Structure 1
Amino acid sequence: MGDLYGKTALVTGSSRGIGRGIAQRLAQDGAVVAVHYGSNEGAAKETVEGIRDNGGRAFLIGAELGVPGDAEALFDSFDAGLATAGAEPGLDILVNNAAISLPGHIGEVTTEEFDRTIAINTKAPFFIIQHGLRRMRDGGRIVNISSAVTSTAFPSTIAYGLSKGAIDTLTRTLAKDVGDRGITVNTVAPGFIETDMNAAMRSTPEAHAALAAISVFNRLGRPADVADVVAFLASDDSRWITGQRIDVTGGSML
């Protein structure tokens, strides 16, 4: 697309995996990208360096999510990073990607695990959006990363599914609330994406084949499969789409 020049984007959890792919694609299309990390600073630096090596513009911001004051800390780092990068104050594209997935059926999830899942996956995006809207220019874009688990039943990740279902609801409601500013709000729901975080789940040829067979294309998803859809939603081409949940699962479980 290459039509994001002059735009500033913030992608949470973009040190690796899907978030890294999104940050790389937005930078490729011309945006100045704030690469956020919670704990893995080294991987985040690799993301920034890779973007710069390919002619893009990016800067690093670190902030732990799921703790008191996380949104404030995130945007303090963002504002400082903008100045360092020589970018204009303000925000055009916000991608809420950072999340955790702790396994467990309803009888196995502890109070601590539940609270942490909700704090990072649901509460943090809510208040990041709240603070981000104070900086976002009219006509901005908010993209929330959800999951295939909100459209089908995965009892073994019940807390994760609940946290992402709330994000789907937030997207619809927020889209109506900010529409008068020309801001669009959409959700992207990936299926199984091949990243280093889930390498153990596909460590054998049999496991890899079983996961690939979930998609009608008989392959695993790649970060770029999600990033390309996010890039479309971040562009002006998507200006008449808001409040939607976009299934990016490769036709999984049709």
Structure 2
Amino acid sequence: MELLLMSNSTNHGSRRFGHAREELRDFYGDAEVLFVPYALADHDSYTAAVAESFAEAGVRVRGVHTVSDPAAALAEAAGIFVGGGNSFRLLRALQRGGLIEAIRTAVGRGARYGGASAGTNMACPTLRTTNDMPIVEPMGFATLGLIDFQINPHYQDPIPDSSHMGESRQQRIAEFLEENDVPVLGLREGAWLRVSDDSIVLRGHTARLFRRDVPPEEWGVDADLSFLTGSARRFDNPAAS
């Protein structure tokens, strides 16, 4: 299994995917990538923008929404990339199109799966650690389950002495851990995971790991996080949520 799970597609002050251009080239090589644009409403414009950025890395992109049978195309794809946007809208589209099993089938036979933000959320066991507003209602929160732990993309550290009275990301994740004994990796902007079978390596930037009854842990670039493989111990029946 080969995965590239990015916190974000655009770093402040840089071009889309500019911070990970070499990683994209190394990850996909000569494979044509089927792009899944369903996290945004305008599929054509989104695909065109991503195709332009991927071309700078020497990677060819085709929007899966342009093919007659998206499920069949994804099941047979050599490379898949799922773009960011609203995770709830994305998951509902995948469910309605029968694309969950198609992507699992592709990854199971060796297709390379990449995602940013919402696309990274899809690789987790469930949607429960997204930052997004539920603008639509999916048919349950279970996602692809390609990894055994949760990711919180765009993770932001608490701001000392902030006057904001809402919960920080750290507090939200603590609430999640009160109900679910599953690790959550907070990926900061510019960070991504490179997963190869049971190997998990953090690249690009740092991350913070949250586990139940354990203080948050900082991990640096090139850290080996392979110990997270097989780490999911309990969800409260996520498939029925």
TM category (shorter chain) comes to 0.3 to 0.5
More helix by share: 1
TM-score, normalising length from structure 2?
0.42
